[in-house]
Structure 1
């Protein structure tokens, strides 16, 4: 016997359609309820292809543009291009001025691979009054991807120089961004260049010009172009933030922070200003920013308390930093605060209290996995700083028991083992890292340097460091390794260049030891003494610095 089943419930959509059409039905005739019901039932069953057939039939029998629109969208979702085209044609008959109809028809033309029809529809949208036409055009092009991408790029090429394009650089940059997202960087650059020529006084055009000058190495020209923007206080907030970022990229973090301070502030701008002021070493600026942020609210929200804690740390106000981190409610902000608080408490001599907070974070399964992992790394570092090397190793072992083969934990354990003179274990962890990821530049450098410095296998170490440098050519640590190995292989002239670059990029005691030794060997003892003294001031307990003072008695 056939099984009986309950009559399918009309969907909310069909009910809404039915309720919205009574007045229209008197003018346009009765709705094709049979086709609508059959189409809706098919939708409820997940049968888009059948639903598309019934809705197309309903749209062709009705004078309602909303039904034609729904038929078009269902056919598109069902992957039925011919039915979608017929439904869209009916929609055009009933609502020839509809931006939505033109936008969806544009997308269908792109998906059919018909750039001529798509361009005609794009031009219709551009000719529409107001901003809706261009916004709809952008939306249709943004949805194009995959097999539709070539046709969309063709449309973007044809629209270059169109007289109906908006008189606004932002619109041209939006089209440039679309071209880049669709994989044609050259076309994207042409749109940018067209916009800069068309709107030379637009601040965003100047920003683009400054960026291009910076990338070409013309830093002076880039600074002059940014200066042409005028008073930062007169710039729109988005332009001001981009301009400040350009100044930072040009190597002027202090001016970047000063510019950004002229606009409206939020947590993101405060954080960026703080980072730039730290980079510039401007303690007075940090103090002023700290006071500014504190004055914003009597009871700062969690994110602001975190920021205040960071600023207090940057100023060395450890007691105040601990107060900001204490008492945060459960959640992401508290998890971050537990990490920061542990380091602050260690500075205050409250080592055990800080470690206890890390243990709380390590077992909190609601916390982000990376934060929990970082809690093990930081605990190890705190134990090592306190001189408890076995506890430092145990922390990392415990972390790896939870986060098996985690690269950060393995790398941290390798370095900890090397500092504890467990060289073979350090090399074993680094080999595990390279087995999983042969292009891990940090592990390549660490492995090569450990082979060289701790085992004297200088020639064997060189290929690892060369590979690391090819992957990360600006890494101060790898530049130092390369210089040190070359020096020990008798290539002092080459070594000096690498070590100078490392020292200029990062003032570090170990780099100072190596650079000074090369200078000493080249007969430049006064320079060597100055570099060594700087390194000893940075870290008097550094093993390499202690060695050169023991061996050379400078």
Structure 2
């Protein structure tokens, strides 16, 4: 039977400088003429001369060139332009940017020149210490880097520790950066600011100094005891594989700041990963709600197969403030679908904004729902519009064609399905799922050669595709051709999936084609009793009929009719057996 489970980033502040020197020429005397009318006076602008500097001395030109080079990620050219610009400009920020660019391209001479210029123009002590430390770290001068970093953290600048961290995180020599961190960012030097402690601990973790990171985290927890310090200490526990310890600390963090949505989401997510769905859901029910809390609550309830909670989340979310509800239109559509409210789901999917990450998926789900609601023409029309809208996006275009084809398969409109699958294969040649789907459609209308060709091609592309092996084997067996190959293919599929009823059906049908009727009945009866698949029942009934056991066959056919009253295979089989 055929089946398928279907680095240089800089804040760019444009500093525009330039000048135009307008030189008005002296006015020449105009002779007085009385005999003839006076001529028109020259236009005033015609008497203005604009003095423009050469490019190397034009500040605006150099700044523009530098920014253009940056936009093209050409740091070397940008550095050269800013090196020239800082010598013209009186703005310390231009020199500061020149220094940063020179360090980024590993040009120590240019960097030192820019730092010196920056100092002349008025850089703060902290800025100079940061730049000199960066240069020293770049050159591997440990003691100079240590001296400048010490000057930085004792400068009194409110951003000193942030600047300190930026020097080390940008270092190419991670070992040097780690050593400087451990020797300078010690508990006795760190300020009375939990954010600085946490930043240094996180930096230590990034640099591979886990013991240091833990020491600073423990110190911050003991000294400040804020929700953030508990949360970071929990993160370190989790990083080290201590899930229980991490959860305990997160619980304390959440108690410290019960309205912190980020903490609640993190804690609830970890509880959910541990299978504690009810506890996680209870945690999220309390306190402020946003789109993320509703989404996680829905996911937890779905994992727990808790439809009552899903209903509750759906009701609360549908009545939430406009901004939350609008951001959750796709989730509302999903919930409505799960709860069997297809008309409501359609309305929610229609409200998903075009710029939403789920806009494409919402349109696909809408098409599927339209068919489920008996509105197939609208479903295919929507998919046709999507195929136009996503013409320049191959992944989405392929999916739109595939869903269109799948809907045609469900409607048993096999010719249209083949057409849609063929369009999709033009977008994604040799795609296994598309080849499989088209092969099924060809087989259903009796076009065995193209069906076999698609299945064979699929197995060339994906030799271990069990469903394709089964499909090709069944198609060959059903058409009574290449039965030895069919036997090999179905046997391989059966070995891979011994309990799959569809493969058992193929094997039983093959035995029937080989004339092994008793064996066919045994295999098909087991498959029928396992899954009550209508097509399996039809095959069993036909074999029983051929054995002369027509009463038993009729009983099976009657049961198939109860399972699937409109089964086409049954109708076709009865016409053949009872002409």
- Structure 1 residue 315 displacement after superposition: 1.1
Q: Residue 295 in 1 paired to residue 319 in 2?
A: yes
Q: Residue 80 in 1 paired to residue 100 in 2?
A: no
**Matched position secondary structure for 2:112:** helix
Equivalent residue number for residue 16 of structure 2: 13
Equivalent residue number for residue 211 of structure 1: 238
Equivalent residue number for residue 352 of structure 1: 377
Q: 2:422 aligns with which of 397, 408, 414?
A: 397
Q: Residue 426 in 1 paired to residue 441 in 2?
A: no
Equivalent residue number for residue 69 of structure 1: 96
C-alpha change, 1:45 and 1:205, in structure 2 (3 Å) is closer
Output the CA distance in 2 between the equivalents of 1:150 and 1:161: 17
Q: Mean Cα displacement is larger for which, 251-260 or 450-459?
A: 450-459
- Structure 1 residue 547 displacement after superposition: 8.8
- Structure 1 residue 109 displacement after superposition: 2.8
C-alpha change, 1:533 and 1:170, in structure 2 (3 Å) is farther
- Structure 1 residue 533 displacement after superposition: 11
Output the CA distance in 1 between the equivalents of 2:190 and 2:123: 21
- Structure 1 residue 72 displacement after superposition: 2.6
Equivalent residue number for residue 122 of structure 1: 149
Count of residue pairs the alignment pairs up: 445
Output the CA distance in 1 between the equivalents of 2:430 and 2:255: 49
5+ unaligned residues in a row in structure 2: which ranges?
1-13, 20-52, 67-76, 444-450, 476-485, 506-525, 545-555, 557-579
C-alpha change, 1:211 and 1:283, in structure 2 (3 Å) is same
Q: 2:288 aligns with which of 250, 260, 264?
A: 264
Matches within 5 A, 1:405-484: 405=429, 407=431, 410-414=432-436, 417=439, 422=451, 425-432=454-461, 455=486, 457=488
- Structure 1 residue 433 displacement after superposition: 5.8
**Matched position secondary structure for 2:288:** coil
C-alpha change, 1:166 and 1:545, in structure 2 (3 Å) is farther
Q: Is the 8 A contact 2:62 2:85 kept in 1?
A: no
- Structure 1 residue 534 displacement after superposition: 11
Output the CA distance in 1 between the equivalents of 2:112 and 2:501: 71
Q: Residue 246 in 1 paired to residue 270 in 2?
A: yes
Equivalent residue number for residue 495 of structure 2: 485
Q: Is the 8 A contact 1:169 1:205 kept in 2?
A: no
| Larger Rg belongs to | 2
Q: Is the 8 A contact 1:211 1:246 kept in 2?
A: no
Residues 412-453 of structure 1, C-alpha deviation per residue, up to 9 Å, x if partnerless? 43256369764652341353368xxxxxxxx76766777899
Q: Residue 274 in 1 paired to residue 298 in 2?
A: yes
Output the CA distance in 2 between the equivalents of 1:58 and 1:399: 60
- Structure 1 residue 341 displacement after superposition: 0.7
C-alpha change, 1:241 and 1:35, in structure 2 (3 Å) is same
Q: Residue 326 in 1 paired to residue 353 in 2?
A: no
Q: Residue 37 in 1 paired to residue 37 in 2?
A: no
C-alpha change, 1:389 and 1:149, in structure 2 (3 Å) is farther
Q: Residue 198 in 1 paired to residue 205 in 2?
A: no
- Structure 1 residue 238 displacement after superposition: 1.9
Q: Is the 8 A contact 1:169 1:196 kept in 2?
A: no
Q: 2:331 aligns with which of 269, 291, 307?
A: 307
Q: 2:407 aligns with which of 371, 382, 391?
A: 382
- Structure 1 residue 543 displacement after superposition: 7.0
Q: 1:339 aligns with which of 355, 358, 364?
A: 364
Q: Is the 8 A contact 1:278 1:286 kept in 2?
A: yes
Output the CA distance in 2 between the equivalents of 1:300 and 1:250: 28
Q: Mean Cα displacement is larger for which, 416-425 or 271-280?
A: 416-425
- Structure 1 residue 290 displacement after superposition: 1.3
Q: Is the 8 A contact 1:114 1:151 kept in 2?
A: no
Matches within 5 A, 1:159-238: 159=184, 161=186, 163-165=188-190, 171=196, 174-175=199-200, 186-187=208-209, 189-200=210-221, 202-205=229-232, 207-208=234-235, 211-212=238-239, 215=241, 227=251, 231=255, 234=258, 236-238=260-262
Q: Is the 8 A contact 1:451 1:457 kept in 2?
A: no
Equivalent residue number for residue 523 of structure 1: none
Q: Is the 8 A contact 1:253 1:277 kept in 2?
A: yes
Output the CA distance in 1 between the equivalents of 2:158 and 2:312: 43
Greater helix share, structure number: 1
- Structure 1 residue 243 displacement after superposition: 0.8
Q: Mean Cα displacement is larger for which, 353-362 or 149-158?
A: 149-158
Matches within 5 A, 1:89-108: 89=116, 91-92=118-119, 97-108=124-135
Output the CA distance in 2 between the equivalents of 1:314 and 1:457: 42
- Structure 1 residue 277 displacement after superposition: 1.6
Residues 429-479 of structure 1, C-alpha deviation per residue, up to 9 Å, x if partnerless? 353368xxxxxxxx7676677789995548996xxxxxxxxxxxxxxxxxx
Output the CA distance in 2 between the equivalents of 1:122 and 1:96: 16
- Structure 1 residue 411 displacement after superposition: 2.5
**Matched position secondary structure for 2:429:** coil
Q: Is the 8 A contact 1:389 1:420 kept in 2?
A: yes
Residues 325-360 of structure 1, C-alpha deviation per residue, up to 9 Å, x if partnerless? 336665556544321211222222222222221111
Q: Residue 138 in 1 paired to residue 186 in 2?
A: no
Output the CA distance in 1 between the equivalents of 2:199 and 2:387: 45
**Matched position secondary structure for 2:190:** coil
Output the CA distance in 2 between the equivalents of 1:128 and 1:366: 59
- Structure 1 residue 251 displacement after superposition: 2.0
Q: Is the 8 A contact 1:328 1:334 kept in 2?
A: yes
**Matched position secondary structure for 2:439:** helix
- Structure 1 residue 318 displacement after superposition: 0.7
TM-score by length of 2: 0.61
**Matched position secondary structure for 2:389:** coil
Output the CA distance in 1 between the equivalents of 2:216 and 2:400: 49
Q: 1:541 aligns with which of 533, 541, 561?
A: 533
- Structure 1 residue 294 displacement after superposition: 1.5
Output the CA distance in 1 between the equivalents of 2:180 and 2:164: 11
C-alpha change, 1:321 and 1:301, in structure 2 (3 Å) is same
Q: Is the 8 A contact 1:240 1:260 kept in 2?
A: yes
